[in-house]
Structure 1
Amino acid sequence: MGDGMMKTYDIAALPGDGVGKEVVSSAIEVIGALSDVHGGLAFRFTEFPWNCDYYMEHETMMPPDAMKTLAQFEGVFLGAVGNPAIVPDHVSLWGMLIKIRREFELSINMRPAKKVRGIESPLVNPKSFDLVVVRENSEGEYSEVGGRIHRGADEMAIQNAIFTRKATERAIRFAFELAGKRNKHVTSATKSNGIYHSMPFWDEVFTEVAKEYPDIESRSNHIDALAAFFVTKPYDFDVIVASNLFGDVLTDIGSAIMGSIGIAPSANINLSGKYPSMFEPVHGSAPDIAGKGVANPIGQIWTAKLMLDHFGEEELGRELLTIIEDATEAGIKTPDIGGRSTTAEVTEEICSRIRKKG
């Protein structure tokens, strides 16, 4: 990083499948506008064509040296992975998205959700909710441990959930540190009244870590009640820390109460800096609208905001999110959030506002 006085970040861009190609292009354009206005900062994107089409030609989602190639960058900017019409989802996801998450030790998945100005929430009274889910991203219910035996009526499948103290404490501690920069409140998602071993263990670690942060309020909610509270009173929450599965479910609810999964961002964080972190929107490749020019670019652009935050450019990140909301409040929106604008029109509106503000 760094060219003289210019601060340059080298980013690997993986547009992937479907609308990923469209929204990654939009976000790169927005980041370019932001960099132009704020001298001394630049993002250099190198694009790689790894996706389901690549799999159909090479029988692998990425080349053998892909991880070594990606490791040379300071960040990975991912669009979307998946085209089930030609490649089964478990093949595409485990061959690319999950492979990167696991091998780059992206142990934290962070997904914010807030009431966005100009976007109607399906909730009657959402108030101004603004929360972040910190999801343990490396183990839990999404472990690969288990197997199948027998066939027919006696067939059996065993899936083991793996919870280590190291990973559990790492996620919980990250949540408390994050809450310290926000509204000083952490909620733990648990199910210790129904899951006999892993959730009481999770609760114990949460209680231990909470004692180290006496100035931060903490509580635990069972996941079923917590899912309901996300709908009935999302404004009650600040930072929520959850296991891999619970975090996955809660963040889809978070997307829904914002008004569209198309605006939801996420960051996969490597805490040690040993490997690059990866930034991706929550939405999938949406093959039904791919190529029609109506994909919502906000999820990818908001994801770029999380990337800015990760690199310490938090003031620029806040500015970008404000401009996104200024655009939606002005009615420049794609059809999924009640507008008539195209992907290109939303992108150009955000870029134009960046230039005017600069």
Structure 2
Amino acid sequence: MKLNIASLPGDGIGREVVPAAKEVLDTLAEIHGGLTFEFTDFPWSCEYYLENGTMMPEDGLDTLSQFDAIFLGAVGNKKLVPDHISLWGLLIKIRREFEQVINIRPAKIFSGLKSPLVNPKDFDLIVVRENSEGEYSSIGGRIYQGEDQIAIQNAVFSRKATERAMRFAFELAKKRKKHVTSATKSNGIFHSMPFWDEVFEFVAKDYPEVNSNSQHIDALAAFFVTHPERFDVIVASNLFGDVLTDIGAAIMGSIGIAPSANINVNGKYPSMFEPVHGSAPDIIGKGTANPLGQIWTAKMLLDHFGEEELGSVLLDVMESLLKDGYVTPDIGGKCTTKEVTQEMMTRLKAK
């Protein structure tokens, strides 16, 4: 299988970790055969905006639509371009226009990566986040001025999108530990969350082999840091999923290794794979950016195309690096980006 991948390193350390992950993917393909990658790089970024007045050209989406997937590094440099311009002009534009309606982000304990939790046990969870509407709708506005000014932000929950996210979560749970937790707040949010609960109960009836329960988001956030081992798949709205996945990255020990995938479920457009970390302007050019978030993201890309076995190989080698101390300064090591990447490829070749 040949995969044509649009490579968008973007801003900051994205330009350092994306090339590193591409090297790792090419090495994996070379060793195990049957799979090749054809990467096409695009320079769309904040610097591109300063030169062109836009984060991507007018035909950018048409161009990206021709690829099998999008491999993104990082977007944003608020010293150059305000975040609302850079994100809505590139990252969120791609998510919305390409109907990437599901976002998935895993979190698990790794040997060699110190969790801030006293007793993290052996947690391995994944959050399925509704990625198209909810609290992050653009409906609303401001009226009046001064002390009378009012800001209105409307949350939008459609039956179609809510049920779609929940069914995705249940299907995923069937392949894992067969448990889905719904993040809700129906005791405080009067309309949308009771609706969310009703749809969850309706969908759960179609999956009798999967255990399910609902947790209010405040309690759920607390359980993430006290008993994360209880969870398997969590399905959440756009805002709740966003918050929970950052907690998930934190309890692992570093947001620098956390991956994510923005999934188009109808096959009309490519899905997009990106690490959770930002552009990290404070370490640009130092050669110490952690490539493991981008590499784990590459594992999610492999899984998406049915290459779960190769994805598992990649994750196993990544864990062996962490266990043996081949890590960058952000997680207590002394290795450079290049050294971690080179050791990753060496171990893949030895598999």
Q: TM-score, normalised by structure 2?
A: 1.00
* Higher deviation after alignment, 166-175 or 289-298: 289-298
Give the letter for the 1:237 counterpart: F
Structure 2 counterpart of 1:218, from 208, 212, 232: 212
1:315-330 mapped onto 2 (5 Å cutoff)? 315-330=309-324
Match of 2:28 in 1: 34
CA deviation profile, 1:110-131 (whole Å, cap 9, x unmatched): 0000001210000010011000
Distance 2:313 2:350 in 1: 13
Match of 2:2 in 1: 8
Match of 2:74 in 1: 80
- Any idea what SS the aligned residue of 2:168 has? helix
Distance 1:138 1:232 in 2: 30
1:68-217 mapped onto 2 (5 Å cutoff)? 68-217=62-211
Match of 1:4 in 2: none
Q: CA deviation at 1:150?
A: 1.3
Match of 2:267 in 1: 273
Give the letter for the 1:228 counterpart: A
Q: CA deviation at 1:266?
A: 0.3
Distance 1:290 1:210 in 2: 46
Give the letter for the 1:95 counterpart: G
| CA RMSD of superposed structures (Å) | 0.5
Structure 2 gaps of 5+ residues are none
CA deviation profile, 1:44-87 (whole Å, cap 9, x unmatched): 11000000000001110000000000000000000000000010
Q: CA deviation at 1:317?
A: 0.3
Distance 1:317 1:61 in 2: 32
Give the letter for the 2:219 counterpart: A
Match of 2:292 in 1: 298
- Any idea what SS the aligned residue of 1:128 has? coil
Distance 1:116 1:268 in 2: 24
Q: CA deviation at 1:36?
A: 0.7
Q: CA deviation at 1:105?
A: 0.1
- Deviating 4+ runs (over 2 angstroms): none
Q: TM-score, normalised by structure 1?
A: 0.98
Say yes or no: does 1:58 pair with 2:52: yes
CA deviation profile, 1:209-239 (whole Å, cap 9, x unmatched): 0010011000000000000000001000000
Q: CA deviation at 1:286?
A: 0.6
Match of 1:245 in 2: 239
- Any idea what SS the aligned residue of 1:288 has? helix
Distance 2:346 2:144 in 1: 61
Distance 2:145 2:289 in 1: 43
Distance 2:37 2:105 in 1: 23
CA deviation profile, 1:322-342 (whole Å, cap 9, x unmatched): 000011111101111111111
Give the letter for the 1:193 counterpart: N
Distance 1:336 1:187 in 2: 32
Structure 2 counterpart of 1:21, from 9, 15, 25: 15
Match of 2:226 in 1: 232
Give the letter for the 2:174 counterpart: G
- Any idea what SS the aligned residue of 2:136 has? coil
Give the letter for the 1:61 counterpart: M
Distance 2:308 2:136 in 1: 31
Distance 1:116 1:134 in 2: 21
Structure 1 gaps of 5+ residues are 1-6
Identity %: 71
Q: CA deviation at 1:174?
A: 0.2
Distance 2:160 2:14 in 1: 34
Give the letter for the 1:25 counterpart: P
Distance 1:252 1:222 in 2: 17
